Amino acid sequence: MGSFSLPYRIPSISKKRLLDPHVAILGAGASIASCPFDKNGNTVPALSNIHKILGLTDKLQSYGFSEKEMENFELLFSNIVGVAKYSDLQKDLEIAVRDYFQSLQIPDVVTLYDYLVLSLTEKDAIITFNWDPFLLQAYLRNIKVGNLPQLVFPHGNVGVGICYDCKNKGYAKYLCPSCMKPFNDMPLLFPIHKKNYYDNSIIENEWEVAKDYLSRAAGITVFGYGAPETDIEAYNLLKESYKKSNITTIAPFSIINLKSEEETQKKKWSEIYDDRMFLFSSSFKESILWTSPRVSLEHLFDAILQQQPRSHTKSYRDFETLEELHNFVQTITEFEMAI
Ligand SMILES: [Zn+2]
């Protein structure tokens, strides 16, 4: 190489296949958009109404908490953690939350999570901050299609089982395939102001995986994740890891969130995207994962780097059944780039 260098790296391609991942980052908004109600009519609670949905109001009142204090579960939980007189309460809250989330079941109809899981491939990753099991349940019922993304859970998840002896990760309630003992529950990282992502081997490992994907990513989609001020540590980790990819001037940065959040979100992430590559959608069905499922980055890079736009695109449409969705997805085989 001479002195010539590009201000960004070009995508990594081997044998005409793109190697760089498209990484989706999910927050509560994604689960609410995908499964507003579960199979039995239950909802994913927001932190402001979690005490009501989980039936914890009376218990919290008995400890002297006001209605106003209960509405900020994050602050409330933060304040009781590690305080001796609240140790029983802390345990009760943790158990109630886990039991509730564990009971949630993905509806039988095709959900946005089915489309999402199938819109990415095995080089890609979905990093979710959600505790609910919907994404994992969607993954399971689409697994036969094959070539699916890696799932990463940096706040823990009720659907994931762990074997500490064999260092295996699998589905909660299943047996570890190595030692045949039942999996342990994956710990949930509860909302506390100062999160320490490095004091727990499982959570720390999830972050290592997340950081690795982000540092190699050539496309990011942030779906229903507001990057709350209370979790500044997660936001910084995501940002710093993605900066290492050194590709932001040509990589798409998409945000899917409520229209009312557009300006705030745009500003929040502005440090790590190029204006020309920024896309905002108020619905998953307007995102590039919907318009070019499984080949979202290939599609874009062929057009902007090779100036060889693909002749036709297989966009998602609304399918009535999972079988129809699977049949459609199996027709998407255009993984080779024009390069
Ligand atoms: Zn084991």
pLDDT tens digits, 256-286: 999 999 999 999 999 999 999 999 999 999 9
CA distance 218 to 237: 17
Strand-strand pairing, 253-256 and 278-281: parallel
Q: What is the pLDDT of residues 13-29, one digit of tens each?
A: 999 999 999 999 999 99
Ligand 1 centroid distance, CA of 175 (Å): 8
CA distance 88 to 270: 43
Can you tell me which residue has the tokens 């299943």? 174
CATH code of 15-38+109-154+195-329, in short, is 3.40.50.1220
Q: Are 287 and 112 in contact (CB under 8 A)?
A: no
Angle between helices 201-216 and 232-243 (to 10 degrees): 40
Token couple for 283 = 């619905």
Q: Phi/psi of residue 127, each to 5°?
A: -100, 115
Per the CB < 8 A criterion, the answer to whether 275 and 101 are in contact is no
Q: What angle (nearest 5°) sits at the alpha carbon of residue 115, between those of residues 288 and 232?
A: 70
d(Cα 128, Cα 136) in Å, to the nearest integer?
A: 10
CA of 176 to the centre of ligand 1 (A): 5
The residue extents of the domains of the chain are 15-38+109-154+195-329, 50-103, 156-188
Tokens at residue 255, please? 């945000």
What distance in angstroms lies between residue 161's CA and the mean position of ligand 1's atoms?
Answer: 10
> Closest Cα partner for 70 from 58, 60, 82?
60
Confidence class for position 317, pLDDT limits 50, 70, 90: very high
**Alpha carbon of 149 to ligand 1 centroid (Å):** 24
- What's the gap in Å between 164 CA and the centre of ligand 1? 7
- Residue pLDDT, tens place only, 152-210: 999 999 999 999 899 889 999 899 999 999 999 998 887 666 666 666 678 888 999 99
Distance CA 321, CA 109 (A): 7
Q: How confident is the model at residue 248 (pLDDT cuts 50, 70, 90)?
A: confident
Distance 174 CA to ligand 1 centre (A): 11
Q: What is the structure's pLDDT at 198?
A: 65
Confidence of residue 1 (pLDDT cuts 50, 70, 90): very low
Tell me how far the alpha carbon of residue 85 lies from the centroid of ligand 1, in angstroms: 36
Nearby residues of 246 by Cβ (< 8 Å), 6 or more positions away? 8, 9
Helices (H), 217-287: 232-243, 262-268
Cα of 160 to ligand 1 centre, how many Å?
14
The pLDDT, as a whole number, for residue 78 is 83
The reported pLDDT for the residue numbered 195 is 67
How many A from CA of 99 to the centre of ligand 1? 24
Measured in Å, residue 201 CA sits from the centre of ligand 1 at 16
Sign of the Cα pseudo-torsion (298, 299, 304, 307, in order): positive
Residues within 5 Å of ion ligand 1, judged at the Cβ atom: 163, 165-166, 176, 178-179
| Distances 10 to 3, 50, 108, 247, 250 between C-alpha atoms, Å | 17, 45, 42, 7, 8
Calculate how far, in angstroms, residue 167's C-alpha sits from the geometric centre of ligand 1.
7
Kindly report, residue by residue over 54-105, the tens digit of the pLDDT: 889 999 999 999 999 988 887 888 888 889 999 999 999 989 999 999 999 9
Q: From ligand 1's centre to the CA of 94, what distance in Å?
A: 25
The CA distance from 141 to 206, in Å, is 23
> Does residue 314 contact residue 293 with C-beta atoms inside 8 Å?
yes
**What pLDDT digit, counting tens, does each position of 127-149 carry?**
999 999 999 999 999 999 999 99
Interval between CA 256 and ligand 1 midpoint (Å):
38
- Spacing, Cα 200 to ligand 1 middle (Å): 19
Distance in Å, CA 66 to ligand 1 centroid: 45
